[in-house]
């Protein structure tokens, strides 16, 4: 389907040879914001890793951003990841480089060559996350919330079809968590990017409702009416 960014059908997901999730059927559309919940060890991270090809899909069917997960080779994986933005709980910023240099590193690594276009794109994403004045700052000079905004800016650089967020508010206080969540929802709308947002924070689900899928007992369940 043209409007589909993620499609898994009858998939089985393995981690180090052990079956983690079975009979996985999942569809995420362009621009759709979806929560992914489940206890530690329930398979959330394994599902996300399968979507960005850190784990191979060997059973069932799977397609992400137009790439068949069952047919990916080493050359195709970087091409898939250029269509994805990935946001982790641990910021994974290069601590010896400024905000600008962190973003430039990603653009260099993904084939951007024109200096003017690089500079313009860095300015655009920093404006989107309200950090235009932090261009020259080092990561240690930023608050936790600001660092996560840099990570989101980094994820936006290549205009991703899908943003995968693995516990992005896990290290943040509730007020900052709300700011980051609202920012990601706003950016999903602006950029028509789908967002799959894994979280343990059920308070967020209560205050900012959206579609929910849950990893439970080795399966993925759709939550029609979620109650904390």
User: What was the pLDDT predicted at 103?
Assistant: 97
Residue 3, pLDDT > 70, answer yes
- List pLDDT tens digits, range 105-153: 999 988 899 999 999 999 999 999 999 999 999 999 999 999 999 999 9
Question: How high is the pLDDT of residue 155?
Answer: 93
β partners of residue 222: 213
Q: How much is the pLDDT for 2?
A: 66
Distance CA 203, CA 225 (A): 15
For residue range 84-97, what is the model confidence (pLDDT) as tens digits?
A: 999 988 888 999 99
- In this predicted model, what pLDDT tens digit does every residue of 8-49 receive, in sequence order? 999 999 998 899 999 999 999 999 999 999 998 899 999 999
Helix axes 144-156, 115-128, angle to 10 degrees: 130
Q: Give one DSSP letter per residue of the chain, joined into a string.
A: -TTEEEEEEEEEEEETTEEEEEEEEEEEETT-EEEEE--TTSSHHHHHHHHTTSS---EEEEEETTEEGGG--TTHHHHHHHTEEEEESS----TTS-HHHHHHHHHHHTT---HHHHHHHHHHHHHHTT-GGGTT--GGGS-HHHHHHHHHHHHHTT--SEEEEESTTTTS-HHHHHHHHHHHHHHHHHHT-EEEEE-S-HHHHHHS--EEEEEETTEEEEESS---
Query: Given this model, what pLDDT does residue 63 score?
Result: 97
Check pLDDT > 90 for residue 188.
Answer: no
Measure the CA–CA gap between 173 and 109, rounded to whole angstroms.
Answer: 32
DSSP string, 183-208: HHHHHHHHHT-EEEEE-S-HHHHHHS
pTM for the model stands at 0.91
Q: What percent of the chain has pLDDT over 90?
A: 78
């Amino acid at each position: 389907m043209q409007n589909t960014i993620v499609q898994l059908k009858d998939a089985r997901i393995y981690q180090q040879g052990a079956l983690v999730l079975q009979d996985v059927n999942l569809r995420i559309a362009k621009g759709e914001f979806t929560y992914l919940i489940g206890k530690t060890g329930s398979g959330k991270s394994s599902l996300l890793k399968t979507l960005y090809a850190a784990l191979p899909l060997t059973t069932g069917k799977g397609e992400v951003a137009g790439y068949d997960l069952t047919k990916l080779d080493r050359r195709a994986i970087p091409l898939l990841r250029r269509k994805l933005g990935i946001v982790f709980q641990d910021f994974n910023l290069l601590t010896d480089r400024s905000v600008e240099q962190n973003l430039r590193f990603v653009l260099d690594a993904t084939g951007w060559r024109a200096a003017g276009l690089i500079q313009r794109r860095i300015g655009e994403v920093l404006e989107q996350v309200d950090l235009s004045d932090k261009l020259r700052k080092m990561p240690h000079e930023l608050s936790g919330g600001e660092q996560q905004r840099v990570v989101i800016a980094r994820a936006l650089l290549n205009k991703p079809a899908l943003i995968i967020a693995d516990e992005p508010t896990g290290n943040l206080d509730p007020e900052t968590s709300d700011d980051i969540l609202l920012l990601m929802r706003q950016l999903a709308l602006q950029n028509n990017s789908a967002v799959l947002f894994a979280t343990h924070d059920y308070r967020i689900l209560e205050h900012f409702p959206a579609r929910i899928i849950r990893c439970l007992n080795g399966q993925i369940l759709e939550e029609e009416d979620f109650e904390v």
